[in-house]
């Protein structure tokens, strides 16, 4: 029972520590309530996680992606009295710091030698300069909004993380697996209904049930924050699976990916998010245009047109079907008319404020962080582009749109320049849903919702990094 030659602690010390830990947790539960036990375990797990991330930043990146996926569900189950959004941002910063500790000799800084990164730096600098915006009424709001700048930190991390095709493939597989779990749980909610803790969460906020109940049908949200985030994430992942199903893989894999794409589409329809329906249509149209020379694309497109026609004009009705059909009849949609009127009403403010009203000044965020501001109020801008125009002006809106255009342009150029079928497929796997999401951003704040925000950042890194994969493959072939 003494310290052995390898330096491992004797068993009685480990046993003593576990005993003291158990007694300590029991004491906290008795004196502080049942929440003390889970919080203590979370704290201990956090210490081990911290050490693991500092040792290998890749662990932190994957944990961050998983956290963005499941943290809302965990919060509904155990009601953690911790601002998980702040923890998420802090974890992202920690992963960035760990990058400089881990693997120092293999970091690739060529990311700063391309126009996409330069445009991203300009956007970040413009947001920092908003501190001096004379139209803002609170610097606290600016500090709160700085959390959005973790996007650039994560972009640097992604650029380093995807050093090989295998790295990108590993992440893509992880994404599809997690998306499948979220999709299946959405179908579970539709078939078996919500759990008790989900109903408790539903009634915890006044008006939430009325917002989620449309045409007598409860909009499902699966494990994500709300039906909108769930629907958009399913649409994004559905398009990715559809692209992969057309890739250079074995027939069984392509069949499985096709099934997953269909399941995600069905699950998405239960969210009742019409923007997600439009996303799928836009993404499929773009994919067909990009691969029109492929015979498989023509056959698949014909099948999709046939199925889509049945869904739109078939003799069957219901809350979900009616919601899908209303997506393609916007003139009959009262909520779309309200959004259009809102945009028209606020256009004058955008024209007269070229640098915007300041960060975190619009709608309910304005009430919370910039009280008294002209834009603050109990309303939602809905459109992500409108939000950008209001807070950062038409100058900021132009910068963002130019950046998105450059990402798409780079991705399209990559697709036609690449020779390897796998790399071409991976390129479309990210830029097809990204284009659809950037269109959805017109009607919702779509690009920056969790967990989609991380997939968007990965897309930025992929379009910049993927040409180097072909060079490596080519050099291997030469050898």
Condensed to tens digits (0 to 9), the pLDDT of residues 119-137 reads 999 999 999 999 999 999 8
pLDDT of residue 474: 45
Instruction: Calculate mean pLDDT across residues 453-470.
Output: 93
Same domain (yes/no): 382, 243: yes
Q: Is residue 242 part of a domain?
A: yes
pLDDT of residue 31: 61
Last residue of a domain, one of 43, 68, 101: 101
Q: Is residue 48 part of a domain?
A: yes
Q: Please tell me which of 138-142, 461-465, 470-474 the model is most confident about, judged by mean pLDDT.
A: 461-465
Instruction: Calculate mean pLDDT across residues 335-344.
Output: 71
Indicate if the alpha-carbon torsion angle 211, 348, 356, 435 is positive or negative. positive
pLDDT of residue 425: 94
Query: pTM of the entire structure?
Result: 0.86
Last residue of a domain, one of 39, 70, 101: 101
Same domain (yes/no): 25, 156: no
Same domain (yes/no): 95, 126: no
Query: Is the separation of the CB atoms in 69 and 182 below 8 Å?
Result: yes
Identify the domain containing residue 124 by its residue range: 112-478
Q: Is residue 2 part of a domain?
A: no
Measuring CA to CA, how many Å separate 438 from each of 27, 192, 298, 346, 383? 52, 34, 25, 21, 11
Distance separating alpha carbons of residues 198 and 68, to the nearest angstrom: 18
Please state the φ and ψ torsions of residue 402, each to the nearest 5 degrees: -65, -40
């Amino acid at each position: 029972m003494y310290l052995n030659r390898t330096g491992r602690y004797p068993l009685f010390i480990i046993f003593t520590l576990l005993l003291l830990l158990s007694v300590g947790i029991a004491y906290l539960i008795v004196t502080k309530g049942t929440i003390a036990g889970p919080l203590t375990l979370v704290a201990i797990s956090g210490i081990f996680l911290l050490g693991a991330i500092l040792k290998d930043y890749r662990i932190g990146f994957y944990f961050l992606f998983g956290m963005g996926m499941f943290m809302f569900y965990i919060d509904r189950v155990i009601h953690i009295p911790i601002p998980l959004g702040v923890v998420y941002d802090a974890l992202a910063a920690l992963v960035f710091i760990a990058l400089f500790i881990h693997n120092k000799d293999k970091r690739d800084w060529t990311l700063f030698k391309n126009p996409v990164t330069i445009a991203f730096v300009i956007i970040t600098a413009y947001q920092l300069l908003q501190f001096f915006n004379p139209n803002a009424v609170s610097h606290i709001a600016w500090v709160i909004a700085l959390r959005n700048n973790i996007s650039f930190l994560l972009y640097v991390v992604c650029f380093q993380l995807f050093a090989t095709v295998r790295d990108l493939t590993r992440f893509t597989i992880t994404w599809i697996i997690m998306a499948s779990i979220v999709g299946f749980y959405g179908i579970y909610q539709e078939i078996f209904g919500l759990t008790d803790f989900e109903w408790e969460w539903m009634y915890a906020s006044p008006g939430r049930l009325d917002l989620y109940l449309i045409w007598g049908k409860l909009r499902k949200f699966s494990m994500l924050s709300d039906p909108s985030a769930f629907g958009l994430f399913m649409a994004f992942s559905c398009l990715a699976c559809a692209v992969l199903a057309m890739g250079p893989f074995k027939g069984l894999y392509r069949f499985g990916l096709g099934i997953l794409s269909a399941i995600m589409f069905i699950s998405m329809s239960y969210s009742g998010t019409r923007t997600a329906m439009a996303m799928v249509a836009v993404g499929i149209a773009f994919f067909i245009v990009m691969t029109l020379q492929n015979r498989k694309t023509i056959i698949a497109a014909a099948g999709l047109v046939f199925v889509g026609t049945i869904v739109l004009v078939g003799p069957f009705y219901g809350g979900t079907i009616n919601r899908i059909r209303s997506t393609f009849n916007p003139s009959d949609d009262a909520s779309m008319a309200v959004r259009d009127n809102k945009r028209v009403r606020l256009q004058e403010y955008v024209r007269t404020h070229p640098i915007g009203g300041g960060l975190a000044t619009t709608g309910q965020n304005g009430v919370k962080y910039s009280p008294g501001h002209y834009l603050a109020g109990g309303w939602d801008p809905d459109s992500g582009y409108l939000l950008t125009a209001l807070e950062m002006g038409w100058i900021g809106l132009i910068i963002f749109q130019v950046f998105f255009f450059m990402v798409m342009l780079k991705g399209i150029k990559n697709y036609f320049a690449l020779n390897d079928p796998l790399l071409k497929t991976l390129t479309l796997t990210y830029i097809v849903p990204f284009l659809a999401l950037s269109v959805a951003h017109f009607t919702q704040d779509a690009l920056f919702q969790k967990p989609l925000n991380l997939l968007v950042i990965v897309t930025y890194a992929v379009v910049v990094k993927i040409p180097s994969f072909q060079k490596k493959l080519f050099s291997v072939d030469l050898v």
